[in-house]
Amino acid sequence: MTTSAPLLIPGEGGRTTTVGVAALALSLLRATQAATVACLPWVGRDDPKSADGAAVDALRGGLRRLPGRCRVAIGEGEKDDAPMLYRGEVLGTGAGPSCDVAVDPLEGTRLCARGQDGAVSVIAAAPPGSLLATPGWYMEKLVVGPAATGAVWLDRPVGDNLTALGRALGKPVRALVVGVQDRPRHQELVAAIRQAGAAVALFGDGDVMASLRVLLPGGDLDALIGIGGAPEGVITACAARLLGGDMQGRLAPQSSHERTVLEATGASFGPEGLGTVLGLGDLVAGGDCVFVATAVTGGTLLSRPRPGPTGVRTSSFVSTPDHPCLFVDGHGPLGEH
């Protein structure tokens, strides 16, 4: 597949160069585009496992061709007993930079199965050892944009955080809009946000894309709060790094089995163990990272893929240290992956 926007850094004399993990951005984009195309036959078919399997196979195929070497640090699938790229799996040709990746080949599997907006194929990459590699499946998250960096803290009461957020953004609390995933576990959180005076924007699946609505300039959300997938949390942390925002997380096991898995691995990230608040630097160490998302079913930020007589046009968002905010239209033959 080819894209309509270059991901290379201009150099002297008209030459172009790429630096570090950013050199892999175009190949990572091609991998998510391939996953998107592979999902298209399953959109609206009410067969989430087949859609997920197609995305996983295509993304794995793309990463095998990566001109470097990548290790899967954290990936989606285990908590849903779904097809997945395995933690520790190593892919790529080896002829280039090495990186760790956090992946969700099909975020919003149910959205894809129902033909609803919001499903994407998404991946983040960073230097080896710099991504949180937890076996945990769920994470409590707090995401804010650049203007509110350092203003909020996950351990504070919701009302106090919203007051601080409003002060940082120059808004009254009643003007704030907070994104929360529509889940029974968030009933008390939603009530607390509304009691503090802010509005709640509920979304079904896909908290990575909801987080972009917080992090991007002109986004329609002022914060994202709540418990979602741990892989998506690490992926979102890369986007927050690149876009200048802030994020905190805390592992939030939702079952005795998940807690047992975490405790069996000796997972402890501070004096409070699983209750430790993880800052942005704990989730992704340093800003040399890449974030890529390609729409499977379209949505607020990205357009739905458009099959045509010569192939499929895809819509992607790419963020690198030198190009933090690229919206990319791609085109490739139907069925290429």
What contacts 310, CB < 8 A, 6 or more positions away?
Answer: 331, 333
Q: Give the amino acid at 262.
A: L
For the stretch 173-221, pLDDT in tens is: 999 999 999 999 999 999 999 999 999 999 999 899 999 999 999 999 9
Q: Which residue has the tokens 């172009």?
A: 16
For the stretch 33-46, pLDDT in tens is: 999 999 999 999 99
Q: What is the mean pLDDT of residues 313-317?
A: 97
Q: Give the DSSP H/E element, type plus range, for residue 139.
A: strand 138-144
Q: Which of 321, 128, 142, 150 is nearest to 242 (CA)?
A: 321
Which pLDDT band holds residue 331 (cuts at 50, 70, 90)?
A: confident
Q: Which of 283, 193, 301 is nearest to 247 (CA)?
A: 283
CA angle 112, 324, 173 (to 5 degrees): 75
Q: Which residue has the higher pLDDT, 268 or 207?
A: 207
For the stretch 228-256, pLDDT in tens is: 999 999 999 999 999 999 999 999 999 99
Question: Is residue 200 classed as helix, strand or coil in its secondary structure?
Answer: strand
Classify strands 98-107 and 120-126 as parallel, antiparallel or unpaired.
Answer: antiparallel
CB of 142 closer than 8 Å to CB of 240: no
- Looking at every residue in the chain, the average pLDDT score rounds to 89
Domain 138-283 fold: D-Maltodextrin-Binding Protein; domain 2 (3.40.190)
CB of 319 closer than 8 Å to CB of 239: yes
Please give the pLDDT value at position 51.
97
Please give the pLDDT value at position 78.
56
CB of 319 closer than 8 Å to CB of 243: yes
Span 19-128+287-332: which CATH code? 3.30.540.10
For the stretch 90-139, pLDDT in tens is: 999 998 899 999 999 999 999 999 999 999 999 999 999 999 998 889 99
Provide the b/e sequence for 237-273 (b: ≥16 CB within 10 Å). bbbbbbbebbbbbbbbbeeeebbebbeeeebebeeee
- Domain regions of the chain by residue span: 19-128+287-332, 138-283
Centroid of chain to Cα 42: 22
Please give the pLDDT value at position 201.
98
For the stretch 3-13, pLDDT in tens is: 333 333 333 34
Residue 197 and residue 162: Cα distance in Å, rounded? 9
Please give the pLDDT value at position 35.
97
Please give the pLDDT value at position 3.
37
Centroid of chain to Cα 232: 5
Please give the pLDDT value at position 210.
96
Burial category of 324 from C-beta neighbours within 10 Å (exposed 0-12, middle 13-18, buried 19 and up):
middle
> Which parts of the chain fold into alpha helices (H)?
25-39, 48-64, 109-114, 158-169, 187-196, 207-215, 230-243, 256-264, 280-283
